[in-house]
Structure 1
Amino acid sequence: MTATTQLTQIIQDWQSGDKKAESQLYQFAYLQLRHIAQEERKRNAEKYGDDNDVLSDSVNSTTALIHDAYLKLSNSELDNIKTKRDFFLMATKVMRQILIDNARSLQTRKRQALTTIQDDSDKFEQLLIMDKALDSFSIRYPRQSNALKLKYLMGMKNNEICQLLECSSSLIEKDLKFSRSWLQTRMM
């Protein structure tokens, strides 16, 4: 039995009320989310340095992000999760919500403190504009949106995305190129 088949079986057992399967799903989710969060923090440190604002923000710490994501997942409507793909797509949605909520909160605090730094304000505005554009994109182009989320929010490699979305690697590459292009035109 492959890992994907095992996970699908665990999800189905969990959906039918098996408490042992719930524990197995939590362990899988924790390990996967931890790996993704560590990779994202590593990429962020390489790109912006070890002392950047994103790394110092507690919501982006590996453990905090995992726990927040799990709490949101456990309180979400999970009837539609039947496979590993559904699980990862739900996790991307939850992580995106956490990051957007955090950005809004930070923006509100900065406005209240009346010490808003223009650069930070611009970054938060860009994030909120990107979130709205991504919502619109998801409605119009669901497959391409899923590929984009898995790549940039979950940090998956193209071959992993191919397996989850059951598409060829060339189609995923085209979807990612189209997604980036479409979003760039909306962000200008």
Structure 2
Amino acid sequence: MTSLLKRASRGDQSAREELYPHIYQELKRLASAHMARERAGHTLQPTALLHEAYLRLIESRDIDWVGRGHFYATAAKVMRRILISHARTHQAGKRGGGLQRVDLDQAFVSTPEREPILISLDEALSRLELESPRAYQLVELKFFAGLSFEEAALALNVSSRTLKRDWETAKRWLYRELQGSRQFPNEDKEGNG
């Protein structure tokens, strides 16, 4: 698969045609998982998200594919960025609004009211990538690509036990980052949220 990816990204049409059936089902699963967290009535459909992400991935000539896990993690990132871009466009001119309490895990579910949260979360993830690249990669692999700890550990070449600690650290770090966001209120006194 890696050699097909490299050939396809260099413009080899036969490699693109050979690659597509091998990755279609997994990309469809990723797109469906992303769209399941989106608001009702979203204008993008999973198939459209899949195709847009595939085109961006395959047209990218600056990625040196290192394997299947790398491809799917990158695909999840591209899909997330497509949806964030869509949310930003949708929110243009709709600034403000009331605060609402949202758990970190629920922040990934999109509704028109939560689009500012998704944008804040995307910005926090960009900061996490600078602060701790492995923790960022873990969030990409675990949450957005749907890999297990064991699969992510193989992709990142570390133990699943280490990644479980990284996961807890990443969740706490993201929550602290988002506490200051106007769209993501502070934790209450009981520590819920």
TM-score (norm 1): 0.76
Residues 26-105 of structure 1: matches in 2 within 5 Å?
26-41=20-35, 44=37, 54-59=39-44, 61-105=45-89
Structure-2 change in CA distance of 1:34 and 1:55 (3 Å): farther
Structure 1 unaligned regions, length at least 5: 1-6, 45-52
Task: Tell me which of 150, 161, 171 is aligned to 1:159.
Answer: 150
1:169 aligns with 2:154: no
Deviations 1:30-68 (A, max 9, x none): 2211022334556x4xxxxxxxx6243132x32122112
Partner of 1:3: none
Question: Structure 2: which amino acid aligns with 1:21?
Answer: A
Q: Is the CA contact (8 Å cut-off) linking 2:5 and 2:65 kept in structure 1?
A: yes
Count of residues in Structure 1 that have an aligned counterpart in Structure 2: 168
> Which structure ranks higher in relative contact order (CA pairs < 8 Å, sequence separation ≥ 6)?
2
Partner of 1:25: 19
* CA–CA distance in structure 1, aligned partners of residues 87 and 34 of structure 2: 17
TM-score (norm 2): 0.74
* CA–CA distance in structure 2, aligned partners of residues 84 and 37 of structure 1: 17
* CA–CA distance in structure 1, aligned partners of residues 10 and 116 of structure 2: 42
Structure 2 unaligned regions, length at least 5: 101-110, 180-193
Partner of 2:174: 183
1:124 aligns with 2:79: no
Q: How many percent of aligned residue pairs carry the same amino acid?
A: 29
* CA–CA distance in structure 2, aligned partners of residues 110 and 130 of structure 1: 18
Question: Structure 2: which amino acid aligns with 1:74?
Answer: I
Partner of 1:48: none
Partner of 2:103: none
